[in-house]
Structure 1
């Protein structure tokens, strides 16, 4: 009930309510933007722009999803816009040329000796198109249909890119695992 009242006050341009809502979500939205951009200043800018957009378009928020989920979608879209503006365009692939590769081991286990930090570093080293799908699917929890809409790719491309990203991650983590055994 509290959040609903806060959002209603924000819709009436109540600055104190807007600041309160901003303070509730700014840190979490910064983390989301930083996952995509990897740059502190750009992530901060995206969060600011996302909140400005959210407050301007707050009348469009109908409460069908949580406010946090609605705002996160804005942050993700803004982050992708920044990447695109830096000339990081997606290569359009014909669906006929794509083949979904099913992983052999669906559980996709890695050695206990590999730290979470090493996994994060490996994700950061992925090609951008793979990294974005991994972050959206494995970390943010979006399904392939949502990823396809967000990234403007097909669901087949989303599945394929996730599968290929997993293989690349495994390949990059295997040497780390073998190095620990020596």
Structure 2
């Protein structure tokens, strides 16, 4: 859970604080755990929510999206990066993305949440989740191409 918190908080002390607050909240809400998901998944979601709460408190607001203008974006199931690019390079490039893409993409690619879960965690619609993940993937691919080739083309 510490590493999950650290991915969001980027600071060991902040991650420890967020994790500790999440553990206290989990202990407080233990009676609400119903076994619908594994205990680890339940706890992980509490840790992520606590990290996001702390980030929001620091005025790191996510950009709202006008859903009427965007419409629905289909996921690309064939999304890939070039051979030779490792997970650490991908994680590093995700960190450099604008925040509006970084957190949805982290939740989707690294934490494995689906759009319904991301929409609940970030308090956005599923359409906004799909859009942010899609655009984040595109931007990430462009950055990884630049990293590998020196240009975006």
Fold match by TM threshold 0.5:
yes
Q: 1:58 to 1:102 in 2, by over 3 A?
A: closer
Distance 2:72 2:96 in 1: 22
Equivalent residues in 2 for 1:4-23, closer than 5 Å? none
Query: Which protein shows a greater Rg?
Result: 1
TM-score by length of 2: 0.90
Task: Give the one of 68, 71, 82 matched to 2:43.
Answer: 71
Alignment check: 8 A CA contact 2:105 2:133 kept: yes
Structure 2: stretches of 5+ with no match in the other structure: none
Q: 1:174 aligns with which of 130, 145, 148?
A: 145
Contact 2:101 2:136 in 1 (8 A): yes
The list of structure 1 runs, each at least 4 consecutive aligned residues, that deviate by more than 4 angstroms after superposition, is: none
Deviations 1:49-73 (A, max 9, x none): 1111111221221222211111111
Name 1:41's counterpart in structure 2. 13
User: SS where residue 81 of structure 2 aligns?
Assistant: coil
SS at structure 1 position matched to 2:62: coil
Superimposed CA distance per residue, residues 26-50 of structure 1 (whole angstroms, 9 cap, x where no aligned partner): xxx1111111121111111111111
Matched residue SS, 1:45: helix
Q: Which among 79, 83, 86 is matched to residue 55 of structure 2?
A: 83
**8 Å contact from structure 1 (residues 101, 164) kept in 2:** no
Superposition pairs of residues 142-161 of structure 1, within 5 angstroms? 142-161=113-132
State how many pairs are aligned. Answer: 150
Q: Which stretch of structure 1 is more off in the superposition, 57-66 or 73-82? A: 57-66
DSSP-derived class of the 1:147 partner:
helix
RMSD: 1.6
Q: Are residues 1:110 and 2:90 paired?
A: no
Higher mean C-alpha deviation, range 65-74 or range 156-165: 65-74
| TM-score, normalised relative to structure 1 | 0.76
